Chains A and B, each alone.
Chain A
């Protein structure tokens, strides 16, 4: 599944470590999410949605 995490993070000038701290996950997990190699659970997807103040479907693209 593709996502816009990297773009959204760059818009806010956050590092992967910054985003990881906001989400309560490791930096490695953020990296795996950004590269599209790991799909988050629903609770984590909702946390991401809240952190970026955007709906889940605006962040994750089902392709």
Chain B
């Protein structure tokens, strides 16, 4: 029977926090750079913003790949299960809220009353759904580990 080389120790909570903090720092840096480039004349400002975001997202994804390869299979299963069930459940709850607000004219103030642009409204809706997804994900992840203790 073949023998394994000494297996690597899987990444723990410290690595998870490190990735979160690192991605947060990159996001903050990207936000700062956006502030510098947004004053540029079109189309340079748009191109510069897109480039900054693309680089920040690529760094974030690379950090996630590094972390994903380092965790063990049960940890991966917990995250997959949580993202599917918790993320989908959170999206459903957030979707109900947003659809209720958008399908009923009197349920919320109009865009003009809020003084928001179309882009800001779009981004706001996207962030709200993302927050619901992340909340559902966090609850489902904790539930998975509690169930599998």
Measured CB to CB, the residues of A under 8 A from B are: 21-26, 28-29, 31-33, 35, 37-38, 40-41, 44, 47, 49-51, 53
| A interface footprint on B1-34 (CB within 8 Å = 1, 0 otherwise) | 1111001111010000000000000000000000
Are B3 and A26 interface neighbours, CB within 8 A?
Answer: no
Q: Which residue of the partner chain, among B2, B10, B147, B149, contacts A24 with CB atoms under 8 Å?
A: B10
A26 touches B7 (CB 8 A): no
Determine the chain B residues whose CB is within 8 A of the CB of A32 once the complex forms. Answer: 74, 148-149
Q: In the complex, A41 Cα to B76 Cα: how many Å?
A: 12
Q: Which B residues contact A (CB, under 8 angstroms)?
A: 1-4, 7-10, 12, 72-75, 77, 145, 147-149
CB distance from B71 to the nearest CB of A (A): 8
The 14 listed contacts between A and B (C-beta, < 8 Å) are A21-B9, A24-B4, A24-B8, A24-B9, A25-B7, A35-B148, A35-B149, A37-B148, A37-B149, A38-B74, A38-B77, A38-B148, A44-B73, A50-B1
Chain A residues closer than 8 Å to B147, beta-carbon distance? 37
Look across to chain B and name the residue whose beta carbon is closest to the beta carbon of A31. B149
CB distance from B81 to the nearest CB of A (A): 11
Apart from A26-B74, A28-B74, A38-B148: 5 A-B pairs, beta carbons within 8 A:
A24-B10, A25-B73, A29-B75, A50-B3, A50-B4
Q: A28 and B145 in contact (CB under 8 A), knowing A21-B9, A23-B7?
A: yes
In the bound complex, CA of A41 to CA of B147 (Å): 19
- Chain A contact residues: over half helix, strand or loop, or mixed? helix
CA distance A51 to B72 in the complex (A): 17
Complex: A47 Cα to B75 Cα, angstroms: 17
* B4–A47 CB distance below 8 A: yes
Report B61 CB to chain A, min CB distance, Å: 24
